[in-house]
Amino acid sequence: MTKEELCRKAQEMLKMAYIPYSHFPVGAALECEDGTVFTGCNIENAAYGPTVCAERTAVFKAVSEGHRRFKRIAIATAGEKMSGPCGVCRQVLHEFAPDLEIILINCKNETVEYTLPQLLPYSFGPADLA
């Protein structure tokens, strides 16, 4: 899958977001090492705590289908500012793909790319429990 195709899948998920409180849609497309792609959107809740980010929605869908090895994720927002994954999402992504490639996309279709180690230095993961 090309970078552009992955980004387009993330952008398509913006319209699926359930965002009655923040009005801030986020879409994600997670590419597994075997090429399978899982998408996600943010899903809010009136109690706020049960809200799930788009990135975790995509990861949980992938893991629930037996996928554990991820190559890259595209994260789209409807704003002009690039928005990276929250701390909780960074930790969840690290659990399965500590060297994950991350592509951020804004409403102007501009992109910026990072690796997870750039966004989560000095991370804590499964190896730290050994």
Q: Is residue 31 flagged as an active site residue?
A: no
Give the residue from 126, 116, 110, 107 showing the smallest Cα distance to 30.
Answer: 116
Catalytic residue among 4, 31, 55, 65: 55
Give the side-chain half-sphere CA count within 13 A for 127.
7
Number of neighbours of residue 39 by Cβ within 10 angstroms:
20
Q: Which residues are catalytic?
A: 55
